[in-house]
Amino acid sequence: MKNMIKSFASDNNAPVHESVIRAIAEANQGDAIGYGDDVHTLKAEQKFREQFGKDIAVYFVCTGTGANVSALDHITRSYHAVICSNKAHLHQDECGAPEKYIGCKLLRLPSEDGKIKPEQMRPLMHSLGFPHHAQPKVISITQATELGRVYSVEEIREISRFANEYDLYLHMDGARIANAAASLNVSLEEMTKFAGVDVLSFGGTKNGAMAAEAVVFFNQDLAQEYEYTRKQSMQLISKMRYISAQFSALLSNDLWLQNARHANAMAALLADKISDISGVEITQKVETNAVFAMLSPKAIEKLKRKYFFYMWDATRNEVRWMTAFNTTEEDIENFVDALKEAL
Ligand SMILES: Cc1ncc(COP(=O)(O)O)c(C=O)c1O
C-alpha cells in the first residue's frame, strides 16, 4: 500500500487505542497462567458482568468470524438452518466458514439495509417438522448491520418473540455493537439480554482493540460445554491475558462508548458535509459509523488515488466510507475537499 493519506475503508484500519496498548503493556509483567486462568481474564469477565449482569457466560476469542462461527456451531446440529440477511457478514464475508465449520444451511433473506423482519421469516417455518428440509434453529441478526443501520430495541424484541414462538435461538453479530448502543443511546444489556438475545458475538476490535472479541451467552443452558467448542474452533488463545486486558480497558470509564460515539459523530459530520454536494447520493440513513454513497466511477477512481476505501456495490457505483474512534474533524474536512475536487 503506497503513500496513503488516510483510510476511510473500515474501522479495522484504525490503530489500537492508546489506553488499550497501555493495558496490554501493564499486563506484560511476569508470568501468568495461560488459556484464561489468570487475574486479567477474571477482571475482564467481571467488566462484562458490569455491563450485562451477573447471569452471563462470557468467553474471549480473537476474531469476529470465530465468534460467530463457534457460537453458531455450538448451538446447532448439521440438519439445522440459520436465518440471516443476504447482507450478513456470516454469509458474505466469512469465506464459507459457516458452511464448513457449522455445516448448517444459511437461509438468507433479502434486505436492503441488512435488517430482517419476522414477516419475512414466517414462510420458512413451514419447513419445521418436515424431514426433507433443513430445520430453522437460529435467527442471526447483525447490530449494527453491515449497512450501518440499527435495529431498535423493539425490533429486536419482536424478532425474539418470533424466535420464541418457533423455539428458535436468537444470535446477534455485535461486531459493531458499541456503535449501535451509542446510536440508540441504550445500555448494552437493554439491546441484548433484555431484548431476548440468546447469544452475542461482542466486538472489541473495531472499537479500539486488537483481535479482542467475545462470545456472550445470556441463555446459560446454551453455554454448557462451549469451552470445548471454542478450543475445537481454534479460538482458545494461549496468552489470553493480553486479550482480557484489552477488554478491561475498553469497558472501563466508558471508553467503548466514547470511541463509538466519536466514530458515529464523524460519520454524521461527513454525511452532513456531503449531503448537498451534487454528484453524490447517500444511499443509507447514517445511524452509526458508515456512510454509503453513489458517485460516478470517474470520481471514485480519482478519490481512490488519495484515500483508501471500498467499493460496496460496483453494479451501482456505491462505495462505503467508514469512520473510527481516531477519525478527526480535520480528516473529514480534507476528505470532503478531495471529494469535491474529484467530482
Ligand atoms: C458485521 C461483521 N461481523 C463480524 C466481523 C468480524 O470479522 P473478523 O473475522 O474479520 O474479525 C466483521 C468485520 O468486518 C463485521 O463487519
Residue 94 alpha carbon, nearest atom of ligand 1: 9
Of 217, 208, 203, which is closest to residue 65 (Cα–Cα)? 203
Residue 142 alpha carbon, nearest atom of ligand 1: 1
275-331 residue pLDDT tens: 999 999 999 999 999 999 999 999 999 999 999 999 999 999 999 999 999 999 999
11-53 residue pLDDT tens: 889 999 999 999 999 999 999 999 999 999 999 999 999 999 9
How many CB atoms sit inside 10 A of residue 152's CB? 13
- Ligand 1 pocket, mutate which of 92, 173, 310 (most atoms under 8 A from CB): 173
Q: What residue's CA is closest to ligand 1, atom 8?
A: 64
Consecutive H or E run containing 268 = helix 255-274
Cα 80 to the center of its chain, rounded Å: 23
> What is the CB-side half-sphere exposure of residue 208 using CA atoms within 13 A?
31
pTM > 0.85: yes or no:
yes
DSSP-derived letter for residue 322 is E
Q: Say yes or no to pLDDT of 216 above 70.
A: yes
Domain covering 6-13+255-342, topology: Aspartate Aminotransferase, domain 1 (3.90.1150)
List 235's β-bridge partners, or say none: none
Instruction: Assess whether the C-beta atom of 11 lies below 6 angstroms from ligand 1.
Output: no
Instruction: Assess whether the C-beta atom of 148 lies below 6 angstroms from ligand 1.
Output: no
Of 59, 85, 97, which is closest to residue 223 (Cα–Cα)? 59
Domain ranges of the chain: 6-13+255-342, 18-250
Residue 63 alpha carbon, nearest atom of ligand 1: 11
For residue 261, how far is its CA from the centre of ligand 1 (angstroms)? 19
Q: Are 288 and 170 in contact (CB under 8 A)?
A: no
Strand blocks (E) in 102-198: 105-109, 135-142, 169-174
For residues 250 and 19, what is the distance between their CA atoms, to the nearest angstrom? 8
Instruction: Assess whether the C-beta atom of 140 lies below 6 angstroms from ligand 1.
Output: no
Under CATH, which number does the domain 18-250 receive?
3.40.640.10
- Ligand 1 pocket, mutate which of 16, 89, 143, 207 (most atoms under 8 A from CB): 89
